[in-house]
Amino acid sequence: MALKSFKPYTASRRFITMLDKSDVTKQTPEKALTESKKRTGGRNAHGEITSWHRGGGHARKYRRIDFRRDKIGIPAKVAAVEYDPNRSARIALLHYADGEKRYILRPIGLEVGMTVQTGEGADILPGNALPIRLIPPGTQLHNLELYPGKGGQVVRAAGGSAQLLSKEGEIALVKLPSGEVRKFSLSCMATIGQLGNVDHENVTYGKAGRTRWHGRRPTNRGVAMNPVDHPHGGGEGRVKGNHPMTPWGTPTLGYKTRNNKRTDKHIVQRRQK
């Protein structure tokens, strides 16, 4: 997969890059695996805006993804590779031997016509899902469970992969894409391989309208506001040198906000800057 650029026949076309979708084999989603997606516009239950700069954008249908991978021992054939507007990775449509259809995240190397499996009999091949206790150290993983049976919650974005470092007792050490080393139970499920669509992070929108298609509205700078509206606001003329703040006065740009003492014990090494 590569990036496409265009001849600059308009000013914005000069900077636009897009992903080559030659890997996508099916244009319309499986209707039985989609559902409507409610849009909040950044507002809470009282109608107050709690997430700024959201609204508009193209209508989407949500694709139900099988993060649990609980079809143990039933082989499935990859019927199609599809685009998903709700996530950065591509998704693969599986046809199981018992007739059921499901979507999974598509790793690099998983092509139409290939077979995937879940459980003890599965080989260490892209797309197969196994408990961590059956996976050899050094293997690249994605869609890892934090708690056995809950379904994959980490390493689900395009190009992402974790590495299984070691196993000791009932605990495995896994290095996540952020650089964090974390403890996982050996009973947690994980899927083999690195997620595809690696060039997603290199895409350039090139024009303001393309951000609007994604439902992102224009952002107003704090220095352009009044003091009543933002810590950066006010001043005669343009004022530089403020300590960067959020609109609510907490530091930003590197200020740590994580506060979850309940799961601190699972983190062996903090993520790297």
pLDDT-based confidence at 72, cuts 50/70/90? very high
- Superfamily of domain 3-201, CATH level 4: Nucleic acid-binding proteins (2.40.50.140)
In this predicted structure, the answer to whether residue 272 has a pLDDT above a threshold of 80 is no
In this prediction, residue 254 carries a pLDDT of 85
Q: What is the DSSP string of 81-112?
A: EE--TTSSS-EEEEEETTS-EEEEEPBTT--T
Domain ranges of the chain: 3-201
Record the tokens describing residue 4, joined without a space.
């496409």
The DSSP bridge pattern shows strands 267-269 and 181-185 to be antiparallel
Looking at residues 85-97, what average pLDDT do you find? 96
31-51 tens-digit pLDDT: 999 999 999 999 999 999 999
In this prediction, residue 1 carries a pLDDT of 62
In this prediction, residue 240 carries a pLDDT of 79
In this predicted structure, the answer to whether residue 273 has a pLDDT above a threshold of 80 is no
pTM of the model: 0.90
What whole-number percentage of the chain has pLDDT above 90?
91
Q: Are 89 and 197 in contact (CB under 8 A)?
A: yes
Q: Using alpha carbons, select from 212, 214, 146 the residue that is nearest to residue 176.
A: 146
Q: Are 110 and 75 in contact (CB under 8 A)?
A: no
Q: What is the DSSP string of 132-162?
A: GGGSPTT-EEESEESSTTS-EEES-STT--E
In this prediction, residue 89 carries a pLDDT of 96
Higher pLDDT, 176 or 253: 176
In this prediction, residue 209 carries a pLDDT of 95
In this prediction, residue 121 carries a pLDDT of 86
127-164 tens-digit pLDDT: 999 999 999 999 999 999 999 999 999 999 999 999 99
Record the tokens describing residue 28, joined without a space.
């319309």
In this prediction, residue 55 carries a pLDDT of 94
The DSSP bridge pattern shows strands 152-154 and 129-131 to be unpaired
